[in-house]
Chains A and B, each alone.
Chain A
């Protein structure tokens, strides 16, 4: 099985968020995803990288965010890692709950889960790794349905 991988080590800055978003979008398009699915993947990666920079590394210039993309025949996977204190995923409120609808923040991980087929979190002690997977066949079917 052939897989193509790209690995970035990024500073903990908002410029890195833009860089990761643009890079993954280009990589997804090259891997054969359509515009819409590539947009969804890039938004998920944007949100994950933003979380890593702001909430994980807290913009610490001594800490870095690593982003790894892998395009395989069956799946497209992105890993984003920070060097922060870790994330308590269970403590994140549901942004769709009526009492949270008008909150200004707290939708990033929800959007990642909405746009990717599989999302996993791993505590790296220190740091957090998020794994985001888009299934190629499922994405292709969705693209075909959207074009009808």
Chain B
């Protein structure tokens, strides 16, 4: 998995690409989120548009990212779920937890409204 971050209007967008599984992307995602939290970033948007495979460990990492930001007084939203990731989020009922967006500009605006 590859991770890159960018800043748009006070929101940190984390672009993820590849697989989020126990041995591939989980550690990288966790380290990225911890680093953002330690830097005091409050608004994080995880762009999963190029994530085409995720397992239960990867789902656990998304939950961890969500709770890490929440516990720091911040907020994390998900952007551009692929069908496979969307299906798993639905099956595990995590759509009731995550704020899921499919438009980047609208997602950024949603952060500013909730700030």
Contacts and interface: CB of A to CB of B under 8 A. Distances in A.
Contacts of A111: 55-56, 88, 91-92
A47 B59 CA distance: 12
A50 B64 CA distance: 19
A110 interface: yes
Interface residues of B, number: 21
Given A39-B84, A96-B93, A101-B97, A47 B66 contact: no
B97 A17 contact: no
SS of B interface (majority) = helix
Interface residues of A, number: 21
Contacts of A46: 21, 55
A28 to B, nearest CB: 15
Instruction: Give the interface centre of A43, A47, A114 by most chain B CB atoms within 10 Å.
Output: A43
Contact of A105 (B21, B60, B91, B93): B60
Contact of B59 (A39, A50, A107): A107
Given A14-B22, A47-B55, A101 B88 contact: no
A32 B22 CA distance: 29
Contact of A95 (B23, B67, B92, B96): B92
B66 A107 contact: no
Contacts of B91: 111, 114
Nearest to B91: A114
A96 B67 CA distance: 17
A88 interface: no
A103 B63 contact: yes
B5 interface: no
Given A101-B96, A103-B60, 16 more contacts: A15-B23, A17-B23, A47-B55, A50-B22, A50-B57, A96-B92, A96-B93, A101-B97, A102-B63, A104-B64, A107-B60, A108-B55, A108-B56, A111-B88, A111-B91, A111-B92
29 contacts: A14-B22, A17-B22, A17-B23, A18-B23, A46-B55, A47-B55, A47-B56, A50-B57, A101-B93, A101-B96, A101-B97, A102-B66, A102-B67, A103-B60, A103-B63, A104-B60, A104-B61, A104-B63, A107-B56, A107-B59, A107-B92, A108-B55, A108-B56, A110-B56, A111-B55, A111-B56, A111-B88, A111-B91, A111-B92
